[in-house]
Structure 1
């Protein structure tokens, strides 16, 4: 059967689709999906891209041809997230990735995660106490507050320390690193890091800030081992079951840098968008609060009770469907291949649009509606709903995130009402993770 040509938007001769894509990558991908269908070919200068918008294409690429669709990985020429995550679990590949996955897998077992629940509860209680000092109906910058909350949970559970006194350093540094990483993937003509441009100097300063925090934690723990019940202790004591080797200091730094992004940036965005939808749909909030009242009676959920909150989880899942924390997965096409009847060229980059799949009108009934019921009483295909990725590189921290998000949402929803400060839906800001552009303010009122 002859190959079918892949639909391609009209672009410019030299730069291809750079101008249109750079203006707002996510909105551009949404529009291309609507206009051209489930697979779209585009180009930025000499770099060729394929946009994949359907679960069948994802299954063929990520699962059936995982040796062809590979992570972008060159430790000699780091790109994207490698520039500040190094060779952590998200960015590494091959034997190193296999070794790190084996080392980290026991750390994220459910029994270990449940021992960290008191620290999650403590961070939530501190935020609740602080919010109770606000005037009723105060306008609160929710996205900033959730970033601080998730960072406090992360550093207390993972690394046995609080960094709230340095959060105004860490949060902007992470933002700079994420935006820089995204730009290096999307524009192949960006100057290399050694060229002293303003953006390169800004990135190096941000990276130095993060390194100072992370190496400071590592060195402090090495000097004062003591008795700890956190993931840094488990990382320091972990050994490869096959070789008996532990992690080097640099590898430990890379894994901690990875956890900083994967462990707090994503959770903060999920909570931000969830609270936005609860403010927008009071009937959903009322039903959520009824479940919490029935199961928890005003308390904080125990490990067993977290499993008894199906509607609470459905609310979180629906928020993750509509606003996936990571809206895009990128893989390099290692050799010429095909998906369905479409030819794909070696050296191209395949972009799996989680956002477009989560909004696909052929997969979801009324896909733009916020409807948690779609996650109750029915199993959703793993290729239709991808908040934690897919395939062998499925997010290792998915259970940690689920426990954290369920616990914190249950706490916040029992203590506060949320109302919109604006009728205008927030614009998208995609810098690796999906945030509300310019932040998100909600009116917050204590209810008990």
Structure 2
């Protein structure tokens, strides 16, 4: 068997493992960013929805993205993926399938961040199935599966648009329909800060995601040829570093102290932004892209909160806005030597052509993800009556109300009576 085939397969398998392990990062990130009474719920639903998304991807998602006989929206072959090796492929088809499955699972996880601390568990189940079958594969096909944006030279190497913007727009639809958490906003529109229960969890989560991103971006080379994955990894690391530094500095200037959530979100924003550009831009550009991402992440969080959009996991600020910037950035910084897809950016003599293609991709994919998700959730709301748990259930916490147990049983059991007293008090006050 060809050595390059084996090496490409091994490298891509390692990338797939790293991306799947990012789910562990998201578990800690979401659990740490939410309150203790919801920690077990957040962790378990993340594992469950990744599993459910995996089955949907096997049944229809892979076929819609990479199947042949494609129409305008999706491919139409390879349903219920059989594992059959594609002839003359440069790596194992099953490894490639697993790698792409991991990306689909990450996008679902990002989307579900917009549901945090107030959605019914059944809503996660239904939306995961429909998003994994009808939203994510369509956009992935347009850009990665040979669809109409691919034909126009859309540059999105590892998914700033396909994975992150798509998930973030779904999260926006969810936050709009679910409405803010109890106690987030006052009657005059001012916001109360609902802090997560464990910032050490969130910091560790960022480190796990940072490492996993080497599989996400460098693994997307799906090849060991010329060790180009090392160049992609360097760009990825520098963008994350620049995002963390930028967010630290801007929060220090604006708030008077370096804000811990802003620092962590800045690193993630840098990673999200460089995901589209990591294979198309020079090393210095990755620093600029990451630095700008850290700043826009900080300000977008403040902007959204001022408009009474309650985004507990910062899905929009971390994955949405930086995803837009990262996708657009190749329209400025893509070099003629690296632009094997599309054309060089504005700063390298390519004019506005690539920037226009990137803008078209952001607008169409973002709109499809948002309106598609909004329609799905709106129909679900009409059929189910509500997407949201009751006030009593939200106040007592989703660990208890949705699962009948606590993520921190020894601590929370002692407070169970206090929780019920809090429910009575808040309901009476409202």
Name the TM tier (shorter chain).
under 0.3
Higher helix content, 1 or 2: 2
Pick 1 or 2: higher relative contact order, CA cutoff 8 A, min separation 6.
1
Q: Please, what TM-score do these two structures have when normalized by structure 1? A: 0.26
The TM-score with structure 2 as length reference comes to: 0.26
